[in-house]
Amino acid sequence: MSPLAAFPALSQTTAMRNRLLSLGVLAWLGAVTSVALEQETRPSVPAIAGFACLAAWVVLFVWHTQSRHAPQWRPWFIALVFSQGALALGAFYLLREAMVPILLVVVAAQLPGYVGTRQAAAWVLVASVAVYAMAIPYGPGQALALAIAFFAFQCFALLLAATLLQAEQSRAELAEINSQLLTTQVLLQESVRDGERLRIARELHDLIGHKLTALQLNLQVAARTAGSREIETARDIAVGILSDIRNVVAYVPATSGVPLAAALHELARSFPASLVHVQASPAARIDDLDLAQHILRCAQEATSNAIRHGRATRIDISLESRDGELVLAVIDNGAGLGDAAPGFGLSSIEARVRELGGRFTLGAGASGGTALRIAIPAQPG
């Protein structure tokens, strides 16, 4: 399981963290209640210190589950999770209450998002040995039983959390692939429609227009020789039809090309409502389908990057045609880049833009987050 950088879509991880928050708080309440019922009227100094450890544990736990998890903060959050483990062990050592190690189970459930399976398993083993050593005063048999029980509970929580996280990641990847397929389908449909419109316009111009021109000339000759009013009327009708066809044919090339706006709106619909907002100019059309796909892939990668790494809750995508270029901007309200270097996703966008002879800029948004802008020539070089 990959660490935090591979977290899936925002809506899914938010729901997962909320469930973890509920279960963790319930476990903490159970531990505190159990300790309070066992304490004397006047708590001792170790008991007060133990309650302080429990209070610090719940503060760190709630802070962790409710914070934005940006990549540059990953070391801090790893330390935060292991600090919860240390506080849980400290509280158990000071209070000697068998219910307190249940907090270690909550800690184990947080580990798959940050460390590999081996590191997490090593922590579980160390924590279980520590529980055994601290429970020796109960007797070796009871201490061993308590350590084995909580070792099993931690392993269960660890494996369950890893499985859920992997399932969330798989669903996010499938959703992203589905989004790419849908947007590509929109591009292909618009390309086919555009090609069909152009074919019909050419047929009207080359075939019907030619025959109407011949009919007009023949009617003109007939009107001069015969002088019939009906022939003159027929000639005027032929002239009008020919003029209408020429107007239609002249209009089609002006609106030809694949409209990227439809594909971008389809991209926005593949994400949860109110997450992605699109403003695309109807004039943002492009004749080259491959170039249109490149621009669309840049928008998809930038959007996924903002959600997966920046934890953005709003993404604004704009596209306009300006001075022979298509200008795409993707601006989010996420955690921003900070001091972290651009990852593979942003690097691939930059490389793609450079290959197309365009410009790539990356910086902070006006209200935080990240602002990505690219400008690509509307006609391939």
pLDDT at 6: 36
CB 329 within 8 A of CB 371: yes
| pTM (global) more than 0.85 | no
User: What's the CA gap between 179 and 185, in Å, rounded?
Assistant: 10
Give the orientation angle of helix 260-269 with respect to helix 140-203, to 10 degrees. Answer: 160
Identity of the amino acid at 302: A
Count of positions (residues) in the chain? 381
Is the confidence at residue 263, as pLDDT, over 70? Answer: yes
pLDDT at 296: 82
Angstrom CA distances, 375 to 200, 271, 321, 326, stand at: 33, 25, 9, 6
Segments in the chain forming alpha helices (H): 10-38, 45-66, 74-95, 102-110, 117-134, 140-203, 209-226, 229-254, 260-269, 289-308, 344-355
CB 99 within 8 A of CB 34: yes
Is the confidence at residue 215, as pLDDT, over 50? Answer: yes
Average pLDDT score over residue span 125-140 = 91
- Encode pLDDT of 101-114 as tens digits: 999 999 999 888 78
Beta strands across the sheet bearing 325-332: 276-280, 315-322, 325-332, 370-377, 359-364
- Encode pLDDT of 228-248 as tens digits: 676 767 767 777 776 766 666
Confidence of residue 338 (pLDDT cuts 50, 70, 90): low
User: What's the CA gap between 267 and 7, in Å, rounded?
Assistant: 20
pLDDT at 5: 36
Average pLDDT score over residue span 336-349 = 71
- Encode pLDDT of 136-168 as tens digits: 988 889 999 999 999 999 999 999 888 888 877
Burial 287-297 (b: 16+ CB within 10 A, else e): eebebbbbbbb
**Higher-confidence position of 108 and 274:** 108
